[in-house]
Amino acid sequence: MQDVLKNLDLSEVNPGAGTGATWLECGGDMLESVSPIDGRVIANVRQASASDYDQVVLKAREAFREWTMVPAPKRGEIVRQMGNAVRVRKRELGALVSLEVGKIWAEAEGEVQEVIDICDFAVGQSRMLYGLSMHSERAKHRMFEQYHPLGPIGVITAFNFPLAVWSWNAMVALVAGDTVIWKPSSKATLTALAIMRIMGGVLRENKLPEGVLNIVIGNRNEVGERLVADPRLPLISATGSVAMGRHVGEVVASRLGRSLLELGGNNGVVVTTKADLELAARAILFGAVGTAGQRCTTIRRVIVHKEIFGPLADALIRAYSQVVIGNPLEDGVLMGPLIDRQAVERMQVALESLKKQGGRIIYGGEVLSGGLYDAGTYVTPCICEARNNYPLVQEETFAPILYMIPYQTLEEAIQYHNGVPQGLSSAIFTNDLLESEVFLSHMGSDCGIANVNIGTSGAEIGGAFGGEKDTGGGRESGSDAWKAYMRRQTCTVNWSGEMELAQGIEFGKV
Ligand code: UN1
């Protein structure tokens, strides 16, 4: 553990606000970073106070003036260097992610890979910040649109993807010409500080203003609420729970700022009689048990044709019983701990309500004890039989609970599938072309992501990531998500020497 910290330039006590190259003497409370693996304190962070927060915003604003003057492809070159700097630290960063949030090393390294991938993507994007040109209705006029940097932006992230989600926002925002203020989850502070140090080093080597990237770790009142309400930040991108996002959305809307929200998922997969059951079971295993059920893209509901309910349940029980649960840094372990004891408690409360609402546990759901398990954060992943309309099934419980819901017709399956408040990710398992086309049509899945014969999680960075309804409507990462980080300007240039008005209007004479 000490080696990981040392290699990543972290100390026993770390300042929680700065640019990655320089740090503030923070005036807020001390915060421990506790590993869910064994409940031990990894290191401490001195949090930012309200006035530290203000310092950070001043830095980000100052840096913005300079950064916008760097041509976009040159900004891309800096992001390329950042990607390379992360490439060579992939192992250590992965280890720290495992230590701090408990996901298995393979998945933690996968997360670091997402950072590298989005850097590569953003480098290309830096030469493709395209606007359209239009034909004017007036003679000898030219009309076109262009995209300008937006300003310093705020990025709020959750514990479960402590690097990737920030990087989808930050790397794209950087090529767009914005500067970034990051408020990471209080449960994943060290990982955030480590990558900021790496990125800050790249900015410093290139003699760029340090405040291009900023981090501010602090509590809700001193930092969180200020950031969200701050009119100096034209965009707030927030990832987390629906309750958090609803609040952020309201506050940002009341100051007429922009928000980009990526909130809860309650992702369903439909398994039809035409599915390859073995393939479906393997995908569901990863989708439901990966990251211990703590991805916003985790499979939470399996909507399965009643004829194959039994065989699929059997295949899943077989697969679940082989999952090795333990220290996520050890080879062969497939599931680490939940983030903390509260998460375990919430899972237990959920399973109690499931029983009251008429559901049935068909596998797992126990809290483990003995040895490492005494940390109180280890559970067995759980499979339940349920109905879609149970209040519990309508909610996202951030834990490895999988609801199996039987259906009879595809129409009914889609109705169940869409019959939840959230709309992030979805999938159908079928080898029947017509069934899959129905699912992908406007009459099918109502989610931001819809897959065929793969699970709901593990999306690639190249697509736009996000969802509908209570998921918040935002899109991050690939495709044209970059547009959210820029302001669009429509321009008309008159080179006619005449004063012609649009819509044929005649208006006075001089
Ligand atoms: C999240 O859980 O907030 O698609 C992000 C996935 C990952 C990202 C998840 N690429 O599961």
Query: Please, are residues 262 and 471 in contact by the beta-carbon 8 Å criterion?
Result: yes
Q: Looking at residue 1, what is its pLDDT? A: 78
457 lines ligand 1 (CB under 6 A): yes
Q: Looking at residue 268, what is its pLDDT? A: 98
Helix (H) or strand (E) holding 196: helix 189-205
CATH for 33? 3.40.605.10
Of the candidates 257, 262, 188, the one whose C-alpha atom is nearest the C-alpha of residue 228 is 257
- Residues 506 and 503: their CA atoms lie apart, in Å, by 9
For residue 427, how far is its CA from the centre of ligand 1 (angstroms)?
Answer: 15
The residue-averaged pLDDT of 432-438 equals 98
pLDDT digits (tens, 9 = 90+) for 441-489: 999 999 999 999 999 999 999 999 999 999 999 999 999 999 999 999 9
273/290 same-domain check: yes
Q: Which atom of ligand 1 is nearest to the CA of 425?
A: 4
147 lines ligand 1 (CB under 6 A): no
235/249 same-domain check: yes
Helix (H) or strand (E) holding 200: helix 189-205
Q: Which atom of ligand 1 is nearest to the CA of 290?
A: 11
Query: Please, are residues 217 and 24 in contact by the beta-carbon 8 Å criterion?
Result: no
Query: Is residue 165 over pLDDT 90?
Result: yes
pLDDT digits (tens, 9 = 90+) for 229-263: 999 999 999 999 999 999 999 999 999 999 999 99
Q: Residue of the nearest CA to atom 6 in ligand 1?
A: 458
Query: Is residue 510 over pLDDT 90?
Result: no
* Residue 507 forms part of a structural domain: no
Query: Is residue 2 over pLDDT 90?
Result: no
291 lines ligand 1 (CB under 6 A): no
pLDDT digits (tens, 9 = 90+) for 283-331: 999 999 999 999 999 999 999 999 999 999 999 999 999 999 999 999 9
* Residue 95 forms part of a structural domain: yes
320/206 same-domain check: no
Mean pLDDT for all residues in the chain: 98
297 lines ligand 1 (CB under 6 A): yes
Query: Is residue 210 over pLDDT 90?
Result: no
Question: Candidates 295, 424, 447, 471: which one to mutate for ligand 1, based on the most atoms within 8 Å of Cβ?
Answer: 295
Written in H, E and C, the secondary structure of 95-116 is HHHHHHHCCCHHHHHHHHHHHH
Q: Looking at residue 336, what is its pLDDT? A: 98
338/244 same-domain check: no
* Residue 483 forms part of a structural domain: yes
301/237 same-domain check: no
Place 509 in a pLDDT band, splitting at 50, 70 and 90. Answer: confident
For residue 437, how far is its CA from the centre of ligand 1 (angstroms)?
Answer: 25
267 lines ligand 1 (CB under 6 A): no
pLDDT digits (tens, 9 = 90+) for 256-274: 999 999 999 999 999 999 9
For residue 414, how far is its CA from the centre of ligand 1 (angstroms)?
Answer: 23
Single out the catalytic residue among 100, 222, 262, 396: 262
Q: Which residues does residue 183 pair with via DSSP β-bridges, in sequence order?
A: 156
The residue-averaged pLDDT of 98-109 equals 98
397 lines ligand 1 (CB under 6 A): no
165 lines ligand 1 (CB under 6 A): yes
- Residues 177 and 167: their CA atoms lie apart, in Å, by 15
257/275 same-domain check: no
The residue-averaged pLDDT of 393-411 equals 98
For residue 296, how far is its CA from the centre of ligand 1 (angstroms)?
Answer: 6
114 catalytic? Reply is no
Which DSSP category does 20 fall into?
A: S
24/147 same-domain check: yes
161 lines ligand 1 (CB under 6 A): yes
This prediction has a pTM of: 0.97
123/179 same-domain check: yes
* Residue 504 forms part of a structural domain: no
Which residues lie below 8 Å from residue 368, measured CB to CB, with a gap of 6+?
325, 378, 379, 380
Pairing of strands 179-183, 133-135: unpaired
Single out the catalytic residue among 26, 111, 114, 296: 296
Residue 171 φ/ψ, nearest 5 degrees: -70, -35
CATH for 335? 3.40.309.10
207/271 same-domain check: no
For residue 480, how far is its CA from the centre of ligand 1 (angstroms)?
Answer: 18
384 catalytic? Reply is no
pLDDT digits (tens, 9 = 90+) for 117-149: 999 999 999 999 999 999 999 999 999 999 999
The domain tally of the chain equals: 2
pLDDT digits (tens, 9 = 90+) for 5-47: 999 999 999 999 999 999 999 999 999 999 999 999 999 999 9
For residue 204, how far is its CA from the centre of ligand 1 (angstroms)?
Answer: 31
Query: Is residue 182 over pLDDT 90?
Result: yes
Q: If you search the block for the tokens 């919430």, which residue do you land on? A: 346
Q: Looking at residue 59, what is its pLDDT? A: 97
Instruction: Return the half-sphere exposure (C-beta side, CA atoms, 13 A cut-off) of residue 247.
Output: 13
Range of the domain at 221: 2-263+472-489
* Residue 340 forms part of a structural domain: yes
Q: Looking at residue 11, what is its pLDDT? A: 96
226/328 same-domain check: no
188/283 same-domain check: no
The residue-averaged pLDDT of 496-503 equals 97
458 lines ligand 1 (CB under 6 A): yes
* Residue 76 forms part of a structural domain: yes
CB atoms within 10 A of CB 418: 18
H helix intervals, 206-340:
225-229, 242-254, 277-289, 309-321
103 lines ligand 1 (CB under 6 A): no
For residue 208, how far is its CA from the centre of ligand 1 (angstroms)?
Answer: 31
* Residue 499 forms part of a structural domain: no
The residue-averaged pLDDT of 162-179 equals 98
* Residue 466 forms part of a structural domain: no
147/163 same-domain check: yes
